[in-house]
Structure 1
Amino acid sequence: MAGGRFAPGHLGELTQLVPFEMVDEALIATRAVQARLRDLPSRVMVYLTLAACLFPETGYPGVWRKLTGALVGLPVAAPTASALAQARRRVGAKPLRWLFDLLRGPAADVGTAGVWWRELLVVALGGTILTVPDTSAVLTRFTKQAGNHGGTGYPQVRLLALVACGTRTLIDAVFGPTTSGETTYAPRLLPSLRAGMILLADRNFAAQKLVADIAATGADVLVRLKNSRTMPVLARYRDGSYLSTLGPARVRVIDCEITVTTTAGKHTCLCRLTTTLLDHHPHPAAELATLYHQRWEIETAYLELKSTILGGRVLRSRTPQGIDQEIYVLLVVYQLLRTDMADATSTRPGTDPDRAGFSIAWQAARDQIILAAGVIAGTVIDLTGTIGRHVLANLLPVRRLRVSPRIVERAISKYQARGPRIDRTSYKATTGIEILAPAGP
């Protein structure tokens, strides 16, 4: 442990991934070091905000007690809630953003099971909504969503991220008011793309300029199109795909029919995909159609952020500056957990990272904070650690295909729900994909 006033500054075993030196460098780089050394140094406050993300059900004084509960014999401060709030404001959001920029990335080596497809790193682009407190200060920047049934009761923040599908780690993320759409925020993520990646995205991102800009980064694209969209046929390939154009970009189009069969029946739908991978020999249409379903990994990542970590709760901060800080804290903590999980599964060759249980890692990390255990690494590097050992001891089964109806994640009001009763059962399924060659000579 650190000594004196710095003793409460830790994150349990996760401190090994974000050590004291890293936090100090973040504070120096963003000019957030305290002017005078008092009972709440800036380094301690960074760790407090990170720890608070793991205990969303507890106020900041309660999180302070969890950080200090195991420090028996060490003199620690007993700050008031207002003192903690003032110290958090003094630190601000910039050190947390610095940490996120340092820690973000795919957290996987080349060849890691389930992370790469034909030597391309599979990444997904998508957005979600976070709910924030309804205060006059927050409403100066974030707005409530209007709707036919009265809109939402809370202001909202739009979060857009690039996620490595295999490890579900964050490659980059941006956020802001919901008055701007996902395609407005997407160009801010393009600097994080590079050659050797294949980006999966839904129909919302199939804009001509955006696809061309993504291709200009060197990354390849696999995006869904509307079935009604007219695409010129310039050349045909043996695998059923065809050469076309999407604005200035030359693309390959794949029309396919997907049949999902469960014990409840059979469902068939048409799907039109386009990709900048023009050579059908190393990148067959059927494999690309199967690969596209990896896009849903980003939805699982958002589920872990909003349901497992936040528990469906509204964010705590009541000012725009505090919300910026809290969202970067959320992204950093999520990345730390995912990195720890990827490190653990890497010690067992051939183990797919998606077999690691996020809830198990999250609970184990909380326990290590309360115990103030594993803060400093030993002389021998241990990629597994206590958190990793819990994960490896409770690996999830090899993933099987399951389907469930797509529904609204959170209704605006349970009293305003309309329509027939929805079957929410998840079914084991088998999938058939048939590539449809375009009509014509």
Structure 2
Amino acid sequence: MSDLVSVGVLTRVFPPAMVDEVIEATGRTQVRHRALPARVMAYFAIGMGLYSDGSYEDVLSQLTDGLAWASGWREQYQLPGKSAIFQARERLGSQPLAALFARVARPLGAADTPGTWVAGRRVVAIDGTCLDVADSPVNEEFFGRPGVNKGEKSAFPQARLLAVAECGTHAIFAATIGAYRDAESTMVEHVLDALTPEMLVLADRGFFSYALWRNASDTGADLLWRVSTGRNGPTPTHVEDLADGSWLAHLRAAKDRHGEPMLARVIDYTVDDGRDNPWPTGCSPR
């Protein structure tokens, strides 16, 4: 019953009418009747996340039972084999799933959700990770593999995921996927449109560049980013000391020292991780 309820929740989050709309908008509506129509395959792709340990056949069985049980679904499907499921997934493609994500993904925290708000701002974070993908020549060519030892490569190709998540709920509301070799600091440009003026955006020190900082600031969001004080970090120009120990500084692009500066507030701190020479870092909210 719990599996049926999970599919029922899935159809409420992704109503059949919405699924049909994005399938049509992305040009994936089937021309002729098939045992696995595009709508079912859209739910199947999402269902693989609910039943990640199951085979194709197991996932489809759970899904079709749930869709028949959920309100508004009366059809019963004779389960095809793995090859037919693979071909149906290939026909659907990734565009409808990306469109569905864009339609429904959003921050979920309410006014009283713990960890969601600081000083009236919704706290979100930008971060990246790598995901194993199927070991196939096509995936290896497109995504690439990380090296593990000298002359050796990992067991699976890997995709790089860059996402924006709400800290209080861990809800991901913007994301982009690239090859393993893609830099997170470049991929982040694809998710900046998700930032809004009431947000406080956290990011680790690997993301900072003058151009990215300016582009993120232009969204109206407040930025709280770690930055390195090493030679690859920014060189802020002191403007004014503040009472809490932080200070205001001007940031300029390395190649444009005479251009218009951006004003940032710098918070200096050192993390004592037990080493003899802890590496100092800076944190600069807009």
Q: TM-score range by the shorter chain?
A: 0.7 to 0.9
Residues 266-305 of structure 1 aligned to structure 2 (within 5 Å): 270-276=280-286
- Deviation sequence 1:203-258 (CA, Å, 0-9, x none): 10121111111111111111112234553321111111111122232111111345
Which has more strand, going by share of residues?
Answer: 2
Structure 1: distance between partners of 2:194 and 2:76: 45
Q: Is the 8 A contact 1:159 1:174 kept in 2?
A: yes
Structure 2: distance between partners of 1:101 and 1:75: 30
Give percent identity, aligned residues only: 34
Structure 1: distance between partners of 2:45 and 2:191: 25
- Deviation sequence 1:294-353 (CA, Å, 0-9, x none): xxxxxxxxxxxxxxxxxxxxxxxxxxxxxxxxxxxxxxxxxxxxxxxxxxxxxxxxxxxx
What residue ranges of structure 1 are gaps of 5+ in the alignment? 1-7, 262-267, 277-441
Which residue is equivalent to 1:313?
A: none
Structure 1: distance between partners of 2:108 and 2:175: 16
Alpha carbons of structure 1 residues 179 and 74: separation in structure 2 relative to 1, 3 Å: closer
Which residue is equivalent to 2:240?
A: 235
Structure 2: distance between partners of 1:160 and 1:88: 24
Q: Specify which of 149, 160, 163 is matched with residue 162 of structure 2.
A: 160
Which residue is equivalent to 2:207?
A: 205
Which residue is equivalent to 1:91?
A: 92
Q: Specify which of 29, 37, 47 is matched with residue 33 of structure 1.
A: 29
Alpha carbons of structure 1 residues 163 and 68: separation in structure 2 relative to 1, 3 Å: closer
- Deviation sequence 1:388-422 (CA, Å, 0-9, x none): xxxxxxxxxxxxxxxxxxxxxxxxxxxxxxxxxxx
What residue ranges of structure 2 are gaps of 5+ in the alignment? 253-260
How far did residue 95 of structure 1 move?
1.0
If asked which structure has higher relative contact order (CA below 8 Å, sep 6+), I would say: 1
Which residue is equivalent to 2:197?
A: 195
- Deviation sequence 1:271-309 (CA, Å, 0-9, x none): 421111xxxxxxxxxxxxxxxxxxxxxxxxxxxxxxxxx
Structure 1: distance between partners of 2:208 and 2:17: 43
Q: Which amino acid aligns with 2:264?
A: V
Which residue is equivalent to 2:262?
A: 249
Residues 70-219 of structure 1 aligned to structure 2 (within 5 Å): 75-149=76-150, 150-219=152-221
Q: Is the 8 A contact 1:11 1:50 kept in 2?
A: no
How far did residue 111 of structure 1 move?
4.8
How far did residue 94 of structure 1 move?
1.2
Matched, 1:15 2:11: yes
How far did residue 52 of structure 1 move?
2.1
Structure 2: distance between partners of 1:232 and 1:38: 65
Alpha carbons of structure 1 residues 184 and 17: separation in structure 2 relative to 1, 3 Å: same
How far did residue 110 of structure 1 move?
4.0
Q: Which amino acid aligns with 1:21?
A: A
- Let me know the Cα RMSD of the aligned residues: 2.6
Structure 2: distance between partners of 1:258 and 1:152: 32
Structure 1: distance between partners of 2:281 and 2:9: 45
- Deviation sequence 1:178-210 (CA, Å, 0-9, x none): 222111111111111121111111110121111
Q: Which amino acid aligns with 1:251?
A: A
Which residue is equivalent to 1:44?
A: 40
Structure 1: distance between partners of 2:164 and 2:8: 28
How far did residue 104 of structure 1 move?
1.2
Q: Is the 8 A contact 2:129 2:161 kept in 1?
A: yes
Q: Is the 8 A contact 2:185 2:208 kept in 1?
A: no
Q: Is the 8 A contact 2:160 2:178 kept in 1?
A: yes
How far did residue 112 of structure 1 move?
3.5
Q: Is the 8 A contact 2:126 2:203 kept in 1?
A: yes
Question: How many residues get paired?
Answer: 263
Q: Could you state the TM-score of these two structures normalised by the residue count of structure 1?
A: 0.55
Q: Specify which of 51, 59, 63 is matched with residue 59 of structure 2.
A: 63
Q: Which amino acid aligns with 1:136?
A: P
How far did residue 133 of structure 1 move?
2.1
Structure 1: distance between partners of 2:9 and 2:179: 35
Structure 1: distance between partners of 2:273 and 2:170: 25
Q: Which amino acid aligns with 2:246?
A: S
Q: Is the 8 A contact 1:211 1:249 kept in 2?
A: no
Alpha carbons of structure 1 residues 187 and 13: separation in structure 2 relative to 1, 3 Å: closer
How far did residue 129 of structure 1 move?
0.5
Structure 1: distance between partners of 2:210 and 2:114: 33
How far did residue 64 of structure 1 move?
2.1
